[in-house]
Amino acid sequence: MKTNVGGVDKIARILAGIALIAWALMGGPLWAWIGVVPLATGLLGWCPAYSLLGLNTCPLSKK
């Protein structure tokens, strides 16, 4: 697993994930638990969809 998520992308994923999970915990819709995915990809720094599409927002691994 090579890091492919970095910078602003990582922060946005973590914040969006936390917001969706908080919404789910406060009685939001069941689909709000999807927030686990952006939270995990932001914390791990690796996104499987980015790997499939050949995308990379991490400047340190663009060699």
Specify if 15 maps to a domain: yes
| Domain count across the chain | 1
Q: How many CB atoms lie within 10 A of CB 60?
A: 10
pLDDT of residue 63: 55
Specify if 39 maps to a domain: yes
- Ramachandran assignment for 7, one of left (phi > 0), alpha (psi -120 to 50 degrees), beta (any other): left
Specify if 1 maps to a domain: no
Q: Looking at the predicted structure, is the pLDDT value of residue 5 above 70? A: yes
d(CA 42, CA 24): 19
Domain containing 56 equals 7-61
Place of tokens 């790997």: 51
DSSP 13-27: HHHHHHHHHHHHHTT
For the stretch 10-60, pLDDT in tens is 999 999 999 999 999 999 999 999 999 999 999 999 999 999 999 999 988
pTM score: 0.90
Specify if 23 maps to a domain: yes
